[in-house]
């Protein structure tokens, strides 16, 4: 188990990593005996950090399909009373398989209703798995790249297996789509990364499934570039948080709706804006403004396939931004001994 691969190396390897994960997950789902999800039941994602942000995409797309779901921060479940079940089914997510909070929370969940998604399901998370879906045990970067996108892939294939229509749309082609995106977005994300690297703070916004990319990109900016960054649902952003935008800050926007006109409010202040959208140029009012950079994604991408490409765009912006910093993405300043269960402790337990 390793998270020692450089960020850019892991990012560029995703076409191969996701192809392997796709094959492995399909086989595991064919062999797994999973309880059916009924529309009147609730499926909960239970996770921390980047894995929690991936759950935003899951719950948004479950709702769009008419299924009930909730995205729970695992640590917030610590004080719940014995016997309380916040959902009918559970997805326990931990890329490393060693995050203590989702493992501890899942110990009290209904046996037989717990599906684990992990890069390393043989890690301590095995103690709470009724069904294990492994992403492949690949080496990843400290700031997760393939671990995050492969989790999105797993959601889509799992939902498809559960009988949710079109949940897996575009996922068979996702290795090729990612490979093409790494080429197609190289120049524009290089320009975007330079703008972001010089910002004193970055807001990242999106709504629906795109809010997942906003939240994950903000996390990567904080972890990888050490820039104060925050994510907001698009319409929430208009209710006050955007008041701090100025010439020293930047704004990254994911989306196709109200997101197209949000730049109009801040571009003249000097705020650098990156708009990631599938809309055509004639639908973007401020297209010609010098402070606006537009990253166009394929309008045919939907569901988790789009979520993966949006996350990749965020990764590419971070990867290009680090060239303007005097440190490496992998140089974390702070270390904590309680965010992962050691393998030695798990064996002793």
List phi, psi (to 5°) of 63: -60, -40
CATH number at residue 74: 3.40.50.10490
> Residue for token digits 């082609």?
173
pLDDT on residue 40: 95
User: Is residue 135 included in any domain, yes or no?
Assistant: yes
- Whole-number Å distance between alpha carbons of 291 and 343: 48
Domain boundary, last residue among 141, 172, 203: 172
Residue 27: domain span = 7-172
Contact (Cβ atoms closer than 8 angstroms) between residue 49 and residue 94: no
- Whole-number Å distance between alpha carbons of 221 and 292: 19
Per the document, the length of the chain is 349
Q: What is the mean pLDDT of residues 298-302?
A: 97
Q: Residues 31, 154: one domain?
A: yes
Q: Residues 142, 204: one domain?
A: no
User: Is residue 333 included in any domain, yes or no?
Assistant: no
Q: Residues 237, 206: one domain?
A: yes
Domain boundary, last residue among 148, 172, 196: 172
**Is the model's pLDDT at 1 over the cut of 70?**
no
Q: Residues 79, 193: one domain?
A: no
Q: Residues 59, 130: one domain?
A: yes
Q: Which helix (H) or strand (E) covers residue 220, if one does?
A: helix 210-225
Q: Residues 198, 166: one domain?
A: no
Name residues whose C-beta falls within 8 Å of residue 184's C-beta, 6 or more positions apart in sequence. Answer: none
- Tens-place pLDDT, residues 32-61: 988 889 989 999 999 999 999 999 999 999
User: Is residue 115 included in any domain, yes or no?
Assistant: yes
User: Is residue 345 included in any domain, yes or no?
Assistant: no
Q: Residues 59, 100: one domain?
A: yes
User: Is residue 222 included in any domain, yes or no?
Assistant: yes
Distance from the Cα of residue 276 to its chain's centroid: 15
Distance from the Cα of residue 48 to its chain's centroid: 11
**Is the model's pLDDT at 348 over the cut of 50?**
no
- Tens-place pLDDT, residues 211-263: 999 999 999 999 999 999 999 999 999 999 999 999 999 999 999 999 999 99
Q: Residues 61, 96: one domain?
A: yes
Task: Tell me how many domains the chain contains.
Answer: 2
Q: Residues 163, 222: one domain?
A: no
- Tens-place pLDDT, residues 128-180: 999 999 999 999 999 999 999 999 999 999 999 999 989 999 999 999 999 99
What percentage of the chain carries pLDDT values higher than 70? 96
User: Is residue 203 included in any domain, yes or no?
Assistant: yes
Name the residue with higher pLDDT: 274 or 2. 274
**Is the model's pLDDT at 102 over the cut of 80?**
yes
Contact (Cβ atoms closer than 8 angstroms) between residue 22 and residue 157: yes
pLDDT on residue 2: 58
User: Is residue 278 included in any domain, yes or no?
Assistant: yes
């Amino acid at each position: 188990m390793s998270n020692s691969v450089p960020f850019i190396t892991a990012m560029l390897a995703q076409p191969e990593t996701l192809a392997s994960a796709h094959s492995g997950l399909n086989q595991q789902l064919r062999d797994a005996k999973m309880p059916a999800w009924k529309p009147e039941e609730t499926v909960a994602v239970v996770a921390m950090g980047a894995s929690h942000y991936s759950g935003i995409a899951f719950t948004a797309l479950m709702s769009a399909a008419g299924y009930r779901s909730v995205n729970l921060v695992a640590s917030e479940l610590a004080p719940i009373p014995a016997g309380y079940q916040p959902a009918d089914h559970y997805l326990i997510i931990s890329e490393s398989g060693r995050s203590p909070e989702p493992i501890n929370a899942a110990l009290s969940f209904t046996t037989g209703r717990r599906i684990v998604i992990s890069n390393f399901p043989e890690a301590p998370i095995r103690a709470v798995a009724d069904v294990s879906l492994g992403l492949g045990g690949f080496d990843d970067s400290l700031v997760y790249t393939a671990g995050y996108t492969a989790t999105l892939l797993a959601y889509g294939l799992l939902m498809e297996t559960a009988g949710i229509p079109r949940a897996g749309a575009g996922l068979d082609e996702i290795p090729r789509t990612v490979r093409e995106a790494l080429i197609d977005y190289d120049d524009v994300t290089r320009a975007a990364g330079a703008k972001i690297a010089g910002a004193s703070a970055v807001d990242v916004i999106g709504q629906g499934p795109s809010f997942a990319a906003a939240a994950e990109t903000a996390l990567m900016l904080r972890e990888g570039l050490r820039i104060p960054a925050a994510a907001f649902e698009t319409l929430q952003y208009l209710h006050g948080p955007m008041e701090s935008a100025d010439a020293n800050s930047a704004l990254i926007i994911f989306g196709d709706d109200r997101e197209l006109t949000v730049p109009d409010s801040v571009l003249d202040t000097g705020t650098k804006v990156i708009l990631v959208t599938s809309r055509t140029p004639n639908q973007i009012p401020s297209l010609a403004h010098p402070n606006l950079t537009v990253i166009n994604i394929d309008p045919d991408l939907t569901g988790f396939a789009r979520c993966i490409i949006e996350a990749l765009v965020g990764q590419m912006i971070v990867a290009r931004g680090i060239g303007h910093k005097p440190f490496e993405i992998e140089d974390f300043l702070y270390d904590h001994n309680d965010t992962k269960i050691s393998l030695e402790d798990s064996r002793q337990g």
